[in-house]
Amino acid sequence: MYNYNNIFPMNNHQETSVLIVGGGPTGLTAALELARHGVNCRVVERRDAPSPFSRAVGIMPNTMRLLEPSGAAELVKAKSIMASGLEIYVDAEKVFEMPMDRHPDPSVRLFCLPQDETESVLAQRAGELGVGVEYGKRFESLKDDGNRVQATVDGDTSEYDYVLGADGSRSTVRDELGIEAEGFDLDDEWAIADVEAPAWAKKPGLFRVYIQDGGVVVFVIPMSPTRYRIVSNRPEALATLDVKMPIEHLYREGNFLIGIRQVPDYRRGNVFLMGDAAHTHSPVGGRGMNLGIADAAHFAKCYASGRLDQYSDERHQIGADTIAYTEKVRGTVVTPMNRTRQAVLQLLNLGTLIPGVPQKVVKKMVSGEF
């Protein structure tokens, strides 16, 4: 067990106050990391309570490394399951499989945990450092005079040194700044379903990808030993899945549109944007929550080292690179083509997106050596 106080002594930042708008993974990470450095934080969330739903599942190795200093990674690992393997199917016939849990370095493993449980871990650690989430509190407006920011929450106005907009793709903080998230929306409607399917669990942590005619792709992603997420690039994910899946409980299902967007600047004066408030992209590769957590951790690092002027440029470049890469992969995954070729390209791209997949295996398969 970590001795957090010895590892991270508090700095003299108690006079600094930060308002964090948004109590999701990004806002909670910002609160946790700033609290480790003794920064006085307030977190407000317009939801009345923590969400019981999960938008994200996969926790990347870099995210685990970022959460290690606070002890959150240890708690996440205890609750999650490790990705064990990847299987690719064409017309319901398995064409390839590869392990994801045999890499000699355990730090490159992918862990799977529903987002609501990840949020619970982050909230727990932040609470232990004295920062709680104020639920049912709606951020309304702000005014930055260059020195301090006046922010109004539920009709009450207070002053802060900084305000962090971690309030999602429909960010009120971003709107208050008059910053537009530039980009476009995809025409195609995607779908999601979270289900309990114990009989499906041949091996916990197994990812499956189903490729069908016309560029239809369905991802079956493990969330727990018996809980799965089905994501399809067509409406009605369960109906799109072309194999029988015995479902004992349906947590939720729905269709959604994808926005490929990014703000031109993550900072305006003493107000900063991060997570979905700053960028959105395709779910291919599972980078969304991980990118937001990295934004928040990087902000805290810049703050602690006196490099806040570098935050926007550094995170904007990483966000732009992530969007470009996930778009390249999405184009490969969903574009209609010969299904054998598509399966090969699918493996190549998933092998670069998902940690724990042996790269030499991917290269052999693509080169025809398998």
For the chain, give the percent of residues with pLDDT over 70.
82
Domain ranges of the chain: 4-57+114-186+259-329, 84-105+187-257+337-367
Assigned CATH class of 84-105+187-257+337-367: alpha beta
pLDDT 10s digits, 154-197: 999 999 999 999 999 999 999 999 999 999 988 888 899 999 99
Gap between the Cα atoms of 97 and 83, Å rounded: 13
pLDDT 10s digits, 25-53: 999 999 999 999 999 999 999 999 987 76
The token pair at 206 is 């197994």
Q: Give the pLDDT score at 16.
A: 73
pLDDT 10s digits, 225-258: 899 999 898 999 999 998 889 999 999 999 988 8
Q: Give the pLDDT score at 170.
A: 94
Q: Give the pLDDT score at 193.
A: 94
In the predicted structure, residue 206 carries a pLDDT above the cut 70: yes
Gap between the Cα atoms of 206 and 86, Å rounded: 6
Contact in structure between 136 and 43 (CB atoms under 8 Å)? no
pLDDT 10s digits, 289-331: 999 999 999 999 999 999 999 999 999 999 999 888 888 777 6
Burial of 191 from C-beta contacts in 10 A (0-12 / 13-18 / 19+)? buried
**What pairs with residue 230 in β-bridges?**
193, 220
CATH 3.40.50.300, domain 4-57+114-186+259-329, yes or no? no
The token pair at 24 is 């999701």
Q: Alpha carbon of 69 to those of 40, 75, 76, 295: distances in Å?
A: 19, 12, 13, 16
